[in-house]
Amino acid sequence: MEKLTQLIARILNIDENSIHDASSPETISEWDSLNGILLVIELEKNFNVKFTMDEVMAVKNVSDIKAALKRYDVKAEVIG
């Protein structure tokens, strides 16, 4: 299982260290709508979860992703 920040860094093709809880489409230019959807697909695959449409719509930044994963009992150490 890939760690959350690794996964985001891979999909957005950016440096892992530049990803913080407050990172969002507003702060990371690579995070466009297509990459946003790719993030959803890859997160679901990697963490073996299925988000609802509402959950996807509610995500505004990295911290929201972490909260959503926690609801699905994904272990804190892989969320990071």
Q: Which parts of this chain interact with other proteins (CB under 8 A)? A: 10-11, 13, 33-35, 37-38, 40-42, 51-53, 56-57
- Output the smallest distance, CB 76 to other proteins, in A: 25
Please count the other Cβ atoms lying within 10 Å of the Cβ belonging to residue 48: 10
Q: Which of 26, 48, 69 is nearest to 80 (CA)?
A: 69
CB-wise, 23 or 46, nearer to other proteins? 46
- Output the smallest distance, CB 22 to other proteins, in A: 23
CB-wise, 53 or 76, nearer to other proteins? 53
Kindly tell me the sign of the dihedral angle through the C-alpha atoms of 59, 22, 24, 13. Answer: negative
Question: In 3-state terms, what secondary structure has residue 67?
Answer: helix
